[in-house]
Amino acid sequence: MSLSLAVIIPTYGRKEVLERLLRWLGHQTRLPHEVIISAPDETHVPDVETRFPVRRLYGPPSLTAQRNRALDYALGRFDIIAFLDDDLIPATDYMERVARALEDNPDWAVVMGGIVRDGASTKGISWEEGIAIIREAEAGGEVDMRVFDMVGAQGNNMSMRSSVIGDLRFDERLVLYGWQEDIDFTYQLGRRGRVVSLPSIRSVHLGVKSGRVSGVRFGYSQVANPVYLFRKGTMPGDFAFKLMARTIIANIVRSIRPEFYVDRRGRLRGNLIALGHLLRGRIEPEYILEI
């Protein structure tokens, strides 16, 4: 059975990046039935001709709210919903492999692809370099067909079966950048079906640095959001602890000689504010709106 597939792209302040992605999606071996762009307003969205219908939805600029706005539109219209970051370059067979995976495995709820190269942990990858990387991967030899069960999926490239979502939505208490809103959402979907990672569904994440929140705000979320999700019951304790420990240690060590593209000292300050709130028994994801 052929399932209909829609792509949702939340975006903020990256009009040129989004335009390149929309043009690139026209090379898919299986075109999406529709691409849904969720943005604050029309100034964030390019006017570009595409090989597929594009729906533009506008509203408050918070990642979870933008995801939910698009979900409310897509549910009931499409069988598969694929979330992509605007700075992702999917392989040309990405949609075809996503659809085939969910068509062939009715017990799978969420499918996450494999990132060939991730610019989020570096200064970033240019569009031209990203295209070269994904083309080299496509021209390579054998494709890795392994399947890995996951706690949750990464929001930059995750696809899900619409029928398992129901009334579940992204938690809008995780404001602005979100941070772990993807794990929160897909961990809950994991109670309704398998959450898997397939390296055969390949992409490159450019890691564009524009359109992000401040270092202090992000640093606060690095601690506050995992604590909140652990208490909520949508993030395992060991996962939350390792996530916080890894980020805090990285911010401490790299604050000595910070990378020019990361506000390490701002993040560390945000970490410390959150830890202080945790010790006082008051830690809320929404506090970043007061920073």
Q: Which domains does the chain have, with CATH numbers?
A: 5-205 (3.90.550.10), 215-286 (no CATH)
pLDDT of residue 263: 93
pLDDT digits (tens, 9 = 90+) for 234-268: 999 999 999 999 999 999 999 999 988 889 999 99
pLDDT digits (tens, 9 = 90+) for 81-115: 999 999 999 999 999 999 999 999 999 999 999 99
For the cut 90, the answer to whether the pLDDT of residue 211 exceeds it is no
pLDDT digits (tens, 9 = 90+) for 220-229: 999 999 999 9
pLDDT of residue 1: 67
Of 181, 119, 117, 120, nearest to 152 (Cα)?
A: 181
Q: What is the 3-state secondary structure (H, E, C) of the chain?
A: CCCCEEEEEECCCCHHHHHHHHHHHCCCCCCCCEEEEEECCHHHCCCCCCCCCEEEEECCCCHHHHHHHHHHHHCCCCCEEEEECCCEEECCCHHHHHHHHHHHCCCEEEEEEEEEEEHHHCCCCCHHHHHHHHHHHHHCCCCCCCCEECCCCCCCEEEEEHHHCCCCCCCCCCCCCCCCHHHHHHHHHCCCCEEEEEEEEEEEECCCCCCCCCHHHHHHHHHHHHHHHHHHCCCCHHHHHHHHHHHHHHHHHHCCCCCCCCCHHHHHHHHHHHHHHHHCCCCCHHHHHHC
Q: CA angle at residue 48 from 44 to 50, to 5 degrees?
A: 125
pLDDT of residue 206: 96
What proportion of the chain, given as a percentage, has pLDDT over 70? Answer: 99
For the cut 80, the answer to whether the pLDDT of residue 32 exceeds it is yes
pLDDT digits (tens, 9 = 90+) for 57-74: 999 999 999 999 999 999
For the cut 80, the answer to whether the pLDDT of residue 213 exceeds it is no
* Measured distance CA(152)–CA(66) in Å, rounded: 20
Residue 212 pLDDT grade (very low, low, confident, very high; cuts 50, 70, 90): low
Encoding tokens for residue 38?
Answer: 């969720």
Q: Compute CA distances 32 → 158, 175, 186, 224, 249, whole Å.
A: 14, 29, 22, 36, 41
pLDDT digits (tens, 9 = 90+) for 36-51: 999 999 999 999 999 9
pLDDT of residue 116: 96
Residue 3 pLDDT grade (very low, low, confident, very high; cuts 50, 70, 90): very high
Residue 121 pLDDT grade (very low, low, confident, very high; cuts 50, 70, 90): confident
pLDDT of residue 214: 85
pLDDT of residue 25: 98
The amino acid that residue 34 corresponds to is E
pTM listed for this prediction = 0.95
Question: Average of pLDDT values for 193-199?
Answer: 98
